[in-house]
Amino acid sequence: YFDLSHGGSTARVVFELFDDVVPKTAENFRALCLGTHQGRDGKVLHYKGSCFHRVIPDFMLQGGDITKGDGTGGESIYGYSFKDENFAIKHTTRGLLSMANCGSNTNSSQFFITVKATPWLDGRHVVFGRVVDGMDTIMALSRCKTTSGDRPTVSILVKDCGEMLDEEAQKQRELELERKKQEEIDAGKTEMQKSHERMKQERAKVELEAKNVCEAVSVAVQEGIKRKVVPENTSNKRTKVGSGMFKGLEDDSEEED
C-alpha cells in the first residue's frame, strides 16, 4: 500500500501484486515498499518519501525514482536494473501497475499507474499489479495541475508504504521473521564460541611456553647450585701439606745425626 500525501491531505491506495505471473518484478516492488534492501551506496532502497514526478491526465501517474526523484534515477533490489520478466499481462484497463523503463531490460524502481487502457504499451512494459482500493484517489491525482514537464505543481508524496497481509499470511511471515532472527542469534553465538575457543587455544599455548621457560630456568638454577656446593674433583692437582714444605728440614736433621 501507499499512503499518498497531496496538498495537506493523505489517502491510502492498496495494490495487488501478480507474483504468480511475474514473481521477480512483484518482489522488487514489495521489497521497495518495505525498505528491506540497501542500494549500491549503502542507503536503504525505499519508496517511502519518494514522489510521483510525472502525471499525464487521461494516461498515467509515474513515480518510484527513489534515488533522484526527477525521473532520471532509480535502483532495483537486484542491482541498478533488471531484465523484462515477461509481457503476459496486457494494459487492458485503468489501475494497472506497470514498470517504467528507458528501453528493453532497463527496469529499476520506477513504475506507473494507468488511468485507462493503454494497449500501445503492451510488449514494452511489464505489468505486475493493480489497484484494488483507492482508485478514486488515483483518478483525482491524475487531474492535478502540472508544469510543462508534466511534474505536479503540488508534490504527490509517498508518506508511508508497506505490506498488508491476511491473518494467516501475517502469522507465517512473523514466524519466518522470528526464524531468521533466531538464525542470526545462533550464528552470532557460533562465532562467539569460535572466538572463545581460539582464545582458549592461545592461552594454552602461552601457558605451555611459560611452563617450558620456568622448567628451563629451574634446571639452570639447580646446575648452578651444584657447581657451588660440590666443586669439581681436582685432587690430582693438589700438593699434600708438608710434602714439600719441610723436606729440606728433614734432610738437615739427618745430617746432624
Is 109 within 8 Å of 137 (Cβ atoms)? no
Is 111 noted as a catalytic residue in this protein?
no
Is 15 noted as a catalytic residue in this protein?
no
Sign for the pseudo-dihedral over CA of 23, 24, 25, 26:
positive
Is 22 within 8 Å of 89 (Cβ atoms)? yes
Q: For 215, which DSSP code?
A: H
The active-site residue, picked from 18, 61, 62, 130, is 62
Instruction: Tell me whether residue 240 is exposed, middle or buried, using C-beta atoms within 10 angstroms of its C-beta: 0 to 12, 13 to 18, 19 or more.
Output: exposed
Is 71 within 8 Å of 26 (Cβ atoms)? no
Is 107 noted as a catalytic residue in this protein?
no
Region class of 58: left (phi > 0), else alpha (psi between -120 and 50), else beta: left
Is 101 noted as a catalytic residue in this protein?
yes
The active-site residue, picked from 29, 94, 101, 111, is 101
The active-site residue, picked from 46, 91, 125, 130, is 125
Q: In what order do the strands lie in the sheet with 9-17?
A: 54-56, 60-63, 111-114, 96-99, 127-133, 9-17, 2-6, 156-161
Is 59 noted as a catalytic residue in this protein?
yes
Is 62 noted as a catalytic residue in this protein?
yes
The active-site residue, picked from 121, 128, 141, 157, is 121
The active-site residue, picked from 30, 46, 53, 54, is 54
Is 28 noted as a catalytic residue in this protein?
no
Grid cell listed for 198 = 581460539
CA atoms of 10 and 135, how far apart (whole Å): 14
Question: Which of 115, 121, 113, 117 minimizes the C-alpha distance to 143?
Answer: 115
Which residues are identified as catalytic? 54, 59, 62, 101, 112, 121, 125
